[in-house]
Amino acid sequence: MRVALMGGSLRPGSLNTRLLRHLAGQLEARGHEVSTFAGEALRLPLYEDAAAIPTGVQALHEALRAVHGLVIVSPEYNAGIPGHLKNAVDWLSTLKSSPWHGLPVLLCAASPGAFGGARGLVAWRTTLANMGALALPEALTVPHADQQLDEHGAPTDARTAAAVPKLLDAFLSLVGRLRPQP
């Protein structure tokens, strides 16, 4: 199965980028083909209707059109979607042959705060539903991520560590049902 991961922050050392890399490794260890879009790959010009489509947007569009599912690992900025990720989504939403329609999505977030980025995921659900993507009802949130993620992005608390394989199983099951492979 082909899965893309998108997210993290533009900041080096981002907790969400660290979690994204851990999840990518977990999916690869299960034998899935993984592509990631984080950091500089998401530093795109601001969306403008009359502007030429940037090369980075074209690459992201092609990648998302070719995958069976998407994992979004998003920081929470003021209880919402970070500007750089919303900008990428806005660019992609304007291209013909939308990558979003029917795309299964797993939402994840990590935050040093007590809510683990959960408030920002609410905004993601609205945006994704508007474009026709299908978000798994469950999500992965890592509260106190500055203390609860190791240097490789693996959760160190038992509850979150146990949740990761269960959520990946549920996500991959959804992907298999919505995007069956021959």
Question: Is the pLDDT reported for residue 182 higher than 80?
Answer: no
Query: How far from 155 is each of 19, 32, 48, 149, CA to CA, in Å?
Result: 8, 21, 38, 4
- The domain locations on the chain are 2-178
Question: Is the pLDDT reported for residue 102 higher than 90?
Answer: yes
In the beta sheet, which residues pair with residue 105? 70, 135
> Looking at the domain covering 2-178, what would its CATH class be?
alpha beta
Q: Which pLDDT does position 180 carry in this prediction? A: 82
Query: For the segment 141-172, what is each residue's pLDDT rounded down to a tens digit?
Result: 999 999 999 999 999 999 999 999 999 999 99
**What is the pLDDT confidence band of residue 12, given thresholds at 50, 70 and 90?**
confident
